[in-house]
Amino acid sequence: MRSISFAQAINEALSEAMRQDERVICYGLGVDDPKGVFGTTLGLQEKFGDHRVFDMPTAENAMTGVAIGASLNGIRPVMTHQRLDFFLLAMDQLVNNAAKWHYMFGGRRSVPITIRLILGRGWGQGPTHSQNLQAWFAHIPGLKVVMPTTAEDAKGLLLSSIFDENPVVFLEHRWLHNVQGHVPEGDFRIPIGKAHVVREGADVTIVSMSYMTIEALHAMEFLEKNGVSCELVDLRTVSPLDWDTVFNSVKKTGRLLALDTGSATGSVAGEIVARVSMGLWSSLKQAPRRLAMPDFPEPTSPALTQGFHVRAEHIAREVAEMLGKAIDHGQIAAQRKHPHDVPGNWFNGPF
Amino acid sequence: MRSISFAQAINEALSEAMRQDERVICYGLGVDDPKGVFGTTLGLQEKFGDHRVFDMPTAENAMTGVAIGASLNGIRPVMTHQRLDFFLLAMDQLVNNAAKWHYMFGGRRSVPITIRLILGRGWGQGPTHSQNLQAWFAHIPGLKVVMPTTAEDAKGLLLSSIFDENPVVFLEHRWLHNVQGHVPEGDFRIPIGKAHVVREGADVTIVSMSYMTIEALHAMEFLEKNGVSCELVDLRTVSPLDWDTVFNSVKKTGRLLALDTGSATGSVAGEIVARVSMGLWSSLKQAPRRLAMPDFPEPTSPALTQGFHVRAEHIAREVAEMLGKAIDHGQIAAQRKHPHDVPGNWFNGPF
Amino acid sequence: MNQRNPSVIPAGLPSGGAPSSQAKALLFSMKRIRAVEETIASRYNEQKMRCPTHLSIGQEGIAAGVGLALNRDDFMMSTHRAHAHYLAKGGNLPAMIAEIYGKVTGCCRGKGGSMHLVDEEAGFMGSTAIVGNTIPVAVGLGLSIKLRNTNQVSCVFFGDGATEEGVFYESVSFAALKKLPVLFICENNFYSVYSPLRVRQPEGRKIHQLAGSLGLPASHGDGNDAVRVYDMARRAVDGIRRGAGPQFLEFTTYRWREHCGPNFDNDIGYRTEDEYLAWKKRDPIVMLQESLLGDGRATREELDGMAATAQAEVDGAFAFAGQSPFPDPSEAYTGVFK
Amino acid sequence: MNQRNPSVIPAGLPSGGAPSSQAKALLFSMKRIRAVEETIASRYNEQKMRCPTHLSIGQEGIAAGVGLALNRDDFMMSTHRAHAHYLAKGGNLPAMIAEIYGKVTGCCRGKGGSMHLVDEEAGFMGSTAIVGNTIPVAVGLGLSIKLRNTNQVSCVFFGDGATEEGVFYESVSFAALKKLPVLFICENNFYSVYSPLRVRQPEGRKIHQLAGSLGLPASHGDGNDAVRVYDMARRAVDGIRRGAGPQFLEFTTYRWREHCGPNFDNDIGYRTEDEYLAWKKRDPIVMLQESLLGDGRATREELDGMAATAQAEVDGAFAFAGQSPFPDPSEAYTGVFK
Ligand SMILES: Cc1ncc(C[n+]2csc(CCOP(=O)(O)OP(=O)(O)O)c2C)c(N)n1
Ligand SMILES: Cc1ncc(C[n+]2csc(CCOP(=O)(O)OP(=O)(O)O)c2C)c(N)n1
Ligand SMILES: [Mg+2]
Ligand SMILES: [Mg+2]
């Protein structure tokens, strides 16, 4: 199968959805500009016209309400924001309207909108271009929250999101846009609400989402060389969360390390630790653990983000500690070939 | 000591703060109207003038920014919203500005604002007048989140909040406004970030906040008659959370039941279960538990809220189950003298 | 497609044509709304309608006028104070009363209450309890109309207070930018809860002028003159349907009773009894009735007949609501997702 | 209290009085800003300034004019594109460059970067990276001035894009309602990132007219004519200081380089090279320079002296930033609360 980037996979999903169903529209700041939201919306306006693909005013709250209203009459809007942080302006429409519409109007009508939010990190994004607030969305009944890691999942889940009958918050980590992967052509869907066991393993269950899955894979490769076998569950959807898959894995390994790209306190990883502790008490061999962002805003200076985010070495260290093994996890960082604040040398700012 | 209501205690705290410090101002929709925000702001404008106590336009986002700006020049604004739900319009100002200001500007300046939000419940408040989103605020580094239960704590914590140098979200549960209690006169403070061991006990630690503490007390009274001794920790502040007090109690009892007025998934109670599970593994005698709102919006019809919220009988049942005791918890509900959707017969709507 | 709202027009009154039959349709619509609201008021203290309820008594002229100007398949959205709009658009009355009583036969199966009404069959797409937050939703409906290329209009009601929200400004601007088929109706009753305009809006602001400066035709009129409201709304709707883009109408009016609930509250100090009485003299129903009687377009008997027809329908609706079952408690735990 | 911003006025130029000395102060301020921005641009690709950086080259006239019209103890707030404003208000230049380099000597100790600047000693109260979100904060400063009864003015800069946010509307309305001492400055450079006005704002909208209809005096001018900007700002500030309430000024201008970063991007298709060249001909620095030389108010040597003075200061600032230490990584974990 051909290999394309996560960003191209998003672009393909949008294109496929719009081709299939003329009710799908796509708007947001810059969707039709020369950069095309990190390449994800390039060419769509040319293909589908400016009535279906359009730029918008900087008015996040109303434009979310507009999506809701359009969806009540059969349109399927996909709205995009270049950073999640900007979307804080639209919490009223998202939470008071979109999330509740189907319930509060007695099931008469749902709100099939998809909201793409990009999660920033590193290279000076700073406090207001880096927030990973999936825990907020997951706390609100009525929202589906999707966080793909691979290009394949990005395409399959975005198509499922667009054709889902409910509001979906679709979170794209900026460090994933250039990740390559094999992606089927055409209409290809991954169901919302299904986690993926990326690697089977025996000793520890690692539960991750989005970019954390990449770091977990690096850590596991290293751990494997050191004789430690982890099972990696990539959530893909954080709400509704696939508790069965998580529970089945922890039942098998008896150990849990939950990862999160957001701040630790009140994180989705915390919820996973809580549910596993409450529900799988007797299967657990030891205390569950969590690795997440510290409870601080992301600082801007590269000197301050050094060591700030969870990386493979931290994951390896944590797993080693759980198993009481001495492992030289420092090797992982030593082998990294690019500065700590970029996902790879392809990235040189600004966003 | 004289006994006053929670609402009067809030009123006294505001009055005391404004008397002491002319930099304190107080505004919000209806603060100077004949109802005075459930009585909490009555008389303030007469005492302190309409330059310090004033109504405002229905413009929640800008008015939060206004509070931030005023606080940068030494003013201490107390802003009030009759429901938390309305404040969803102001998340940009709260999260992107207030919470981060001190950090992102290198500690040059903090934002000493207090935001009073009233949490609805029952009597037909319905989906958009009943949200308990403390978990959202607690997830944001840089916010303090206070949730008093008693009149005494309400006064002491509000005074501490107003004179705190940081942004404080002060959450008042609507069902508490008429609760009576002994409250010291004058300037009386309870420190932010300190939980209160309301009752000592041996068998189970119940961690609660705000109105859940009232239900827990009812449950414990009943449990005590049945020979079960609970320790009740009223958090009072949910961020920063007093982990020492929670941990010390669980170390003693070996059992945890965490209560929350918000939706279960991603709740503060979940974070407590997670941290206790991770940190006190070997002290726990059994799986920790959580009781919180179901993951559904609050419906309007009284037929649908019947059994919807956590009540004393649920707490008693849960504790009894943990201890393997058979207890007829149905008695608690049977003894209740007013409809299930009001805190007492003093309440007859609409808000 | 082009028929008027049938349910607001009593048998025997033609649904268009001569001015006098329109006037009678307006009068009946108002009387019917008034009968509903008065009945709610008189029974509210029974504590069986257990949800916040905002009455429109005194404000019926606007709902009636705008409702008559719209087609059944046009869209309408509204606010916390939505009963009149829902009814004027042809919304199902028994389903509304049942909703307020929390019954399973309610338009939201009891989940929404008075502040959340919906009847999509009548084009009433929803009302919500957050000030200003249906405005962009109605604009989104307008966008959908344009995309689907139908000939509908999306109409949204909101109060003077709602125009203070940023989302109002953003929504009107977007409708103007895209020339969407949206009719904005501001019901200016001079108060937001207990707060008069002067503590909320800059001195000298005229809401319709402000709206005009955002980029769409805007005018204002007396909301207690239902015929005038109808004329203005009709003209606006015609223009919008011709593709001329959105329009804005502000109507002044007055709420007679308390902001939320059944009582009069002129004694508590935020407004004067005199102010209330002056507005009461301008009762939109009485004014239209007198005009019809005055020039002989209607007889006293006709009017009594309307009142009786309306009251019978209202009584039926209350009986329906009363007899309807409550939803099963388990329904609270369903319906978050479709 | 009444002194002009000292740091923007080169030695030998008096800080007020004759028009020619004001013009020279403006010219120096612009040249200094330009020198800073050009130096950033030329060194940005070294990848040592690791944060998004929005340059103001071409737009200096507005910052210089408004900056000179304000007193040092007046307040100023700004946006993602804040360098020019910070400098024109007298903000500490070395601390700004150090901030962009992520150094501990930066005005935010490295935590904020280019998009978060602050120098309270110069009255520069902060700039942030969320479009529109300093506008209400500046209005809150205005409220504080009124409450504390000082004679200050609170000035806020924002772009044409920011006027699309509801919070802009809410903030201007509140300032007008309470007659707060706020000076709103809209820098209309016709673009928000790559988006021209026509895809964002209703046809025919004039931002200053819109602002005027919100309830405050509003006018507009050529932002590339620094003297005119200064005159208008000075008059507005005088009125505000006399207690006449808020004012709004819109200035048109043009950003020469890409939205964010150091490059030119007229080739990528969202605007034309011709448009850029037309604006470049109207370089605010060249225009003022030619005027001064033309009527003999300044000599070529004087101007060269200014350029040299500015560049020396800029070089010093970059040297300072380069030599400054990074913050200790542990600082990332402090300072959430005071
Ligand atoms: C965002 C928000 N803020 C505040 C409220 C509280 N509230 C409910 S109704 C109302 C009055 C609104 O006034 P207006 O828009 O003039 O409508 P009216 O009640 O006069 O019909 C207010 C402030 C709310 N529901 N939502
Ligand atoms: C709320 C929000 N939405 C979107 C963005 C992305 N963004 C950053 S700068 C910018 C352009 C704003 O245009 P304008 O206000 O005209 O300022 P200019 O860049 O032209 O100086 C945008 C849209 C943001 N930072 N914040
Ligand atoms: Mg009103
Ligand atoms: Mg611009």
Which class for D304: exposed (0-12), middle (13-18), buried (19 or more C-beta within 10 A)?
exposed
CB contact under 8 A, C202 and D215: yes
pLDDT of res. B329: 87
pLDDT of res. B348: 86
How many angstroms is it from D86 CA to the middle of ligand 4? 18
Instruction: Put residue A65 in one of left, alpha, beta given phi > 0 → left and psi -120 to 50 → alpha.
Output: alpha
> Does D129 sit in the ligand 2 pocket, CB within 6 Å?
yes
pLDDT of res. A338: 93
pLDDT of res. D270: 96
Question: In whole angstroms, what is the distance from residue D136 CA to residue B113 CA?
Answer: 15
Is the Cβ of B39 closer than 8 Å to some Cβ of chain C? Answer: no
- Domains and their CATH numbers in chain A: 3-182 (3.40.50.970), 196-333 (3.40.50.920)
Question: In whole angstroms, what is the distance from residue D266 CA to residue D268 CA?
Answer: 6
Q: What confidence tens digit (pLDDT) does each residue in A116-155 have?
A: 999 999 999 999 999 999 999 999 999 999 999 999 999 9
Model confidence band, residue D213 (pLDDT cutoffs 50, 70, 90): very high
Place of tokens 């000693």: D121
pLDDT of res. A349: 87
Question: In whole angstroms, what is the distance from residue B228 CA to residue B303 CA?
Answer: 32
Using omega within 30 degrees of 0 as the cis cutoff, is the peptide bond preceding B350 cis? yes
Measured in degrees and rounded to the nearest 5, phi and psi for residue C59 equal: -105, 10
Closest-CA residue to B226 (of B210, B209, B258, B204) = B204
Average pLDDT over residues D55-83: 98
Taking CA atoms, C327 is separated from B294, C331, D273, in Å, by 18, 7, 67
Contacts of D109 in chain B (CB under 8 A): 106-107
CB contact under 8 A, B136 and A139: yes
The strand pairing partners of D270, in sequence order, are: none
pLDDT of res. A118: 98
pLDDT of res. C318: 98
Q: What 3-state class would DSSP assign to A60? A: helix
Question: In whole angstroms, what is the distance from residue D104 CA to residue D123 CA?
Answer: 21
Model confidence band, residue C10 (pLDDT cutoffs 50, 70, 90): very low
For chain D, the first-to-last Cα distance in angstroms comes to 29
Q: What confidence tens digit (pLDDT) does each residue in B222-273 have?
A: 999 999 999 999 999 999 999 999 999 999 999 999 999 999 999 999 999 9
Predicted complex: ipTM over 0.95: yes
Instruction: Put residue D323 in one of left, alpha, beta given phi > 0 → left and psi -120 to 50 → alpha.
Output: alpha
Contact C75, C157 (CB under 8 A): no
> Does A29 sit in the ligand 2 pocket, CB within 6 Å?
yes
| Chain center to CA of C56 | 8
Closest-CA residue to B121 (of B177, B178, B175) = B175
Q: Count, in order, helices (H) and strands (E) of chain B.
A: 13, 14
* Average pLDDT across chain B, whole number: 97
* Average pLDDT across chain A, whole number: 97
Of D103, D166, D328, the CB nearest to A62: D166
Segments in chain A below pLDDT 50 = none
Question: In whole angstroms, what is the distance from residue C186 CA to residue C169 CA?
Answer: 13
Compute the nearest-CA separation of C60 from chain D (Å): 30
Q: What confidence tens digit (pLDDT) does each residue in B65-99 have?
A: 999 999 999 999 999 999 999 999 999 999 999 99
The structure's pTM equals 0.97
| Chain center to CA of A312 | 18
Question: In whole angstroms, what is the distance from residue D274 CA to residue B31 CA?
Answer: 56
- Domains and their CATH numbers in chain C: 52-76+126-297 (3.40.50.970)
Place of tokens 């000030």: C131
Instruction: Give the atom of ligand 1 at the shortest distance from the alpha carbon of C159.
Output: 15
Which class for C42: exposed (0-12), middle (13-18), buried (19 or more C-beta within 10 A)?
exposed
Is the Cβ of A36 closer than 8 Å to some Cβ of chain D? Answer: no
> Does D223 sit in the ligand 2 pocket, CB within 6 Å?
no
Of C139, C177, C335, the CB nearest to A69: C139
Contact B313, B330 (CB under 8 A): yes
DSSP character at residue A94: I
* Average pLDDT across chain D, whole number: 94
Type of residue at A211: Y
pLDDT of res. B1: 79
Tell me which of D101, D143, D168 to substitute to probe the interface with B (most B C-beta atoms closer than 10 Å).
D143
- Which residue of chain C has the CA closest to D169? C166
> Does C162 sit in the ligand 1 pocket, CB within 6 Å?
yes
Contact B141, A295 (CB under 8 A): yes
Question: In whole angstroms, what is the distance from residue A147 CA to residue D83 CA?
Answer: 36
Q: What is the pLDDT along chain B (351 residues), one digit of tens a residue?
A: 799 999 999 999 999 999 999 999 999 999 999 999 999 999 999 999 999 999 999 999 999 999 999 999 999 999 999 999 999 999 999 999 999 999 999 998 999 999 999 999 999 999 999 999 999 999 999 999 999 999 999 999 999 999 999 999 999 999 999 999 999 999 999 999 999 999 999 999 999 999 999 999 999 999 999 999 999 999 999 999 999 999 999 999 999 999 999 999 999 999 999 999 999 999 999 999 999 999 999 999 999 999 999 999 999 999 999 999 999 988 999 999 999 999 998 898 899
What percent of chain C is helix, strand and coil (3-state, nearest 5)?
50, 10, 40
pLDDT of res. B246: 98
pLDDT at residue D211 is higher than 80: yes
pLDDT of res. D5: 41
Question: In whole angstroms, what is the distance from residue A125 CA to residue A119 CA?
Answer: 10
CB contact under 8 A, D118 and B52: no
Is the Cβ of B264 closer than 8 Å to some Cβ of chain A? Answer: no
Ligand in nearest proximity to the CA of B33: 1
What percent of chain D is helix, strand and coil (3-state, nearest 5)?
50, 10, 40
Q: What 3-state class would DSSP assign to A171? A: strand
Place of tokens 């005492």: B47
| E-assigned strand segments in chain B | 3-5, 24-28, 53-54, 76-81, 114-119, 144-146, 168-173, 180-182, 196-199, 204-208, 230-234, 237-239, 256-263, 289-293
Closest-CA residue to C103 (of C167, C51, C67) = C51
pLDDT at residue C9 is higher than 90: no
- What are the DSSP calls for A276-345, one per residue? HHHHSGGG-SS--EEEEE-SSPPPSSHHHHTTTS--HHHHHHHHHHHHT----THHHHHH--S-TTSSST
- Around A172, how many Cα atoms within 13 Å sit in the side-chain half-sphere? 32
pLDDT at residue D243 is higher than 90: yes
Count B/C contacts: CB-CB distance under 8 Å.
135
